[in-house]
Amino acid sequence: MIIREQYRGCLKEGGSEEALQRAVDQARKSAQRRIREGELLCVCLYRYRQMCFLYYEALEPGMKPEQFLPELTPFLESWPEEDGKTPWAYMYHIFHHALPDEPLKWEAERAGEKTKVGRIAFLYPEKLFSYTYWHKAIVDEGIHAGDKYQCIALHENILFSYYEEPRTNVNLRGDDQSISQALKGWMAVDPESHFDRRKAGGENFLVIEPVFLVDKRTVLD
């Protein structure tokens, strides 16, 4: 079983960048150790200003970021949630083109050099449910093709998108002949009107800086 997770963190103001970098180096080593021990397949951490975005693939349920990135906890603000406060806010998964298959096959199509890309987008609050509705409709229909490893998650009005290049294009149904009616519906409601491009530097989705990217290939090299 492969469980894909996405989380958002917020760095505390006024902290030492030098101390943060030391913590990041230790966190990278912690993630690498978990990969070597067979608990994780990959861990990708990105940063935009004070915001951090985390994507990882776990091989067992219940794996939380604070378990394998404890070095970063002192540098993160605490989010208030139903069960108390947490350094990592869960991002709700809303979009993908494929479901993970068994680990060996999932990893086999990653052979060779792959670039792990993280992007964010800011939705206008009044457009949040329209975006979510149409993307769920596209997933439920399962025809629209895109990168096998892409997934998009939501926290507040912020989207975090992860994908890999070069892309391995697939769809959920394995159907390359049908035309997506759900995608037609999404295009008809003016996708551009959903994004606050001012916050994203003029883009719908803004590519953000990786802090570290570790996977089985980099750990074993």
Q: Output Rg (C-alpha) for the chain, integer angstroms.
A: 18
Q: What is the structure's pLDDT at 151?
A: 98
Is residue 188's pLDDT more than 70?
A: yes
Residue 91 to residue 8: CA distance in whole angstroms:
7
Question: Do 132 and 123 touch, CB atoms closer than 8 A?
Answer: no
- With a cut of 90, say whether residue 108 has pLDDT above it: no
pLDDT by residue (tens digit) across 64-96? 999 999 999 999 999 998 989 999 999 999 999
Model pTM greater than 0.85? yes
> Is 1 a residue whose pLDDT tops 70?
yes
DSSP β-bridge partners for residue 90: 7
Query: 206, exposed or middle or buried, with CB in 10 Å at 0-12, 13-18, 19+?
Result: middle
CB burial class (10 A; 0-12, 13-18, 19+) of residue 166?
exposed
Residue 135's H or E segment, with its range, is: helix 128-141
Q: Which of 183, 185, 174 is nearest to 148 (CA)?
A: 174
Q: Name the packing angle between helices 128-141 and 181-188 (round to 10°).
A: 160
Q: pLDDT tier at 218 (50, 70, 90 boundaries)?
A: confident
220 — pLDDT class (breaks 50, 70, 90):
low
Nearest to 139 by CA among 178, 177, 183, 102: 183
β-pairing, 151-155 vs 158-165, is: antiparallel
Residue 202's contacts (CB-CB under 8 Å, 6 or more residues apart) are none
Please give the share of the chain, as a percent, with pLDDT higher than 90: 89
| Structure-block tokens of residue 201 | 């530097």
Distance CA 167, CA 148 (A): 7
User: For 20-61, what is each residue's pLDDT tens digit?
Assistant: 999 999 999 999 999 999 999 999 999 999 999 999 999 989
Contact 89, 79 (CB under 8 A): yes
* pLDDT for the residue 15: 84
Positive or negative, the CA dihedral 74, 212, 216, 87 is: positive
Determine which of 43-47, 82-86, 101-105, 110-114 has the lowest per-residue pLDDT on average.
Answer: 110-114
pLDDT at 221 over 80: no
For 115-165, how does the pLDDT look when each residue is reduced to its tens digit (9 = 90+)?
999 999 999 999 999 999 999 999 999 999 999 999 999 999 999 999 999
